[in-house]
Structure formats: structure tokens, C-alpha cells
Amino acid sequence: MGKMSVDLCGITLDNSIIPASGTFGYGLEFAELYDINILGTFSFKGTTKEPRFGNPTPRIAECASGMLNAVGLQNPGVEHVIKYELPALKKVFNKKVMANISGSSIEDYVYVSELLDKEEQVGWLEINISCPNVKAGGMGFGTSAESAAAVTKAVKAVTKKPVIMKLSPNVTDIVSIAKACEDAGADGICAINTLLGMRIDLKTGKPVIANVTGGVSGPCVFPVALRAVYQISHAVKIPVIGCGGVSTAEDVLEMMYAGAAAVQVGAANLVDPFACKKIIEELPEVMDRYKFRR
């Protein structure tokens, strides 16, 4: 059997499988279904300085081979996460967790990062500069190399933990943005977040979701994510986490061939809550089949 463990920014994971932020909550719901310690780690729900109710409903819709969402970073705020979510998680998860952080300003990112840097349970800070479903901040920071670098530099100044910048595919040159983040001190890159899209209800002639547009995820975006991982991993020296449409063990190996150091599984968790468990269980046999040694 091939070697399953991987190194992610100096921290060893038992395997490369990481449920993506926004698809795994703060872990507790899934811990009721199976032992989540089988995961490499997971990225918890996008967390902001203040509590967010998110966007108005309806905010999720189906599309061919995927889904459209505009949840809008609904979360209870960082203080609540530190006081309640992390202590509860510690009872069921004995590994380091990845903290996903969002903000409407650089100051917001710094504030949340500084607080979570003090939490022993947090292993990495995943800085979301790519959410297309919030009107302030979010993807706006990830669409230019200068803005992405500014957020990276500001966060790195207040944390000793590895900083992973989560990038948007809704740009013309994702590689230049990844390189700017690396130059500003990022320890890793996560690519990609969702693609911007929409659907229209033919009965009303109006958008299906209240936010009008939303993020497209699921198997339909896998080729786009794979291309981004390949391009970025050949341009930077820091680890790249592949994310976007991964739903099988075979997808994981494709991401690894493209240059990923680890792989996030997103929308598949919303279709089947056991998706990550199944991938981890199937990975050894699939690795053997394709002569993957490590």
C-alpha cells in the first residue's frame, strides 16, 4: 500500500483529504455520523469578526453536475467560535483544525487572525479572499495581485501559524495573484473557490436565488480547478491545496499529479455526508491500482 501521509506547511496529515470550508460546519454534525479523526484535517466554516446572518433566501439551487450557492458567510462570529465551537470540537477531534477566515476589510482579517492565532487547536489560517457572495470584501481582495498581497502581508504580521490564501477563479490571471501572495509571505495556496454563476426560473423570468448570482461548485468545476492547481504549482514553491469538484479517490490522484500537496472536498459533502470517509477508505486501493507509491 502506498504512503497516505502528507506534509502541509510543516504539519503532517495522516492523509490528504480535507473537507472544504462551508461544507462541514464546525465539525460537530459530521462527528455524529462517523469518527472525523480519520480526516487529514478539515477547514471549518468561514468565520468573520462579527456574526453574519448571511444572504436572504432562497440561496441554494441545483445546476447540471453541481450546485449554485449564495449563503453569504453565515456564521456566529469569531468570539462565539472561540468560546463555544472550538471547545466542543476538542471533545470529538484530536487533530489540528484549519480556520477559514473572511472579512470586509484588511482590519477585519487581522482582527480574526490575531484571535485565532492564540488557539492551540488551530493549525493553519486559511484566508478567504475569494468568496463571490458578499458585497463587501470577499472576492474583491482576491481579484488583484496588489490587494491579495496586502491581505497576506497584514495577516502574516500577526500570526505564527501557517497562512494559506484561498484564491478566486473569477480572474484572468490566477497565477500572478498566487505569486503575489507567495512574495508577501504566504505559506500555502488553496485553489479554487467557486465560479460566479446564476440561474433563471422560466416560470417567473427572475433569478432562482435572491442574491441573483452565486458560486458554482461540484463536479462541473473540477477541470477548471485542476488547471488552476497545475498552473499555480508550477509557478510557486509553496504548497498548493487543490479544491473544486473533487468527489472520488481518482479525482484526488488527478489533483496530486497536477501538483497538489493536499485536496479539499466541498460540494460532495452536501450530496453525501460520508463522501470524505468513502474517499479515504477507497484511496489505498486506487493508489495501488495506479501504482501511486506516496
Confidence (pLDDT) at 28: 97
For 231: left if phi > 0, alpha if psi spans -120 to 50, otherwise beta; the answer is alpha
**Looking at the domain assignment, is residue 1 inside a domain?**
no
DSSP state of 68: E
Instruction: Evaluate whether residue 127 is within a structural domain.
Output: yes
Residue 264's pLDDT band (cuts 50, 70, 90): very high
The answer to whether residues 193 and 169 touch, using CB atoms and an 8 Å cutoff, is yes
**Neighbouring C-alpha atoms within 13 Å toward the C-beta of 41:** 24
First CA to last CA across the chain, in angstroms?
9
Do the domain assignments include residue 15?
yes
pLDDT band at residue 85 under the 50/70/90 scheme: very high
**For residue 132, what pLDDT is reported?**
59
Distance from C-alpha of 243 to C-alpha of 269, rounded to nearest angstrom:
13
User: Looking at residue 285, what is its pLDDT?
Assistant: 96
89 located within any domain = yes
Sheet holding 195-197, edge to edge: 60-63, 66-69, 214-217, 195-197
Confidence of residue 141 (pLDDT cuts 50, 70, 90): confident
Cα-based distances in Å from 289 to 2, 36, 277: 10, 26, 19
What pLDDT score was predicted for residue 131? 66
Residue 5, C-beta contacts closer than 8 angstroms, at least 6 positions apart: 12, 13, 14, 15
| Catalytic choice (131, 220, 243, 276) | 131
Residue 235 lies in a domain: yes
On the question of a cis peptide bond just before residue 192, with omega within 30 degrees of 0, the verdict is: yes
pLDDT of residue 143: 86
C-alpha cell at 38: 480519520
Among the ranges given (35-49, 64-78, 120-134, 194-208), the one the predictor scored with the smallest mean pLDDT: 120-134
- The pLDDT tens digits for 158-169 are 999 999 999 999
- Residue 147 inside a domain? The answer is yes
Are 262 and 233 spatial neighbours (Cβ–Cβ below 8 Å)?
no
Q: Would you say the pTM of this structure is higher than 0.85?
A: yes
- pLDDT of 11 over the 70 cut: yes
90 lies in some domain: yes
Q: Give pLDDT tens digits for 165-186.
A: 999 999 999 999 999 999 999 9
Q: What is the pLDDT of residues 87-139, one digit of tens each?
A: 999 999 999 999 999 999 999 999 999 999 999 999 999 999 976 555 555 55
Mean pLDDT across 222-250: 98
The CATH number given to whatever domain includes residue 101 is 3.20.20.70
Examine residue 294 and state whether it is found in any structural domain, yes or no. Answer: no
> What are the helix (H) ranges across 33-105?
78-80, 86-90
pLDDT at 294: 84
**Amino acid 138: pLDDT:** 54
Distance CA(76)–CA(44), nearest Å, equals 12
**Host domain of residue 211:** 6-289
Query: What is d(CA 83, CA 93) in angstroms, rounded to the nearest whole number?
Result: 16
**Percent of the chain scoring above 70 in pLDDT:** 96
Cβ neighbour number for residue 157 with a 10 Å cutoff = 11
Write down the pLDDT at residue 133: 53
Q: How many domains does the chain have?
A: 1
Q: What CA–CA distance (Å, rounded) separates 192 from 81?
A: 25
Asked about 131 being catalytic, the answer comes back as yes
Residue 1 has pLDDT above 80, yes or no: no
Could you tell me which of 173, 186, 248, 241 has the C-alpha nearest to residue 218? Answer: 248
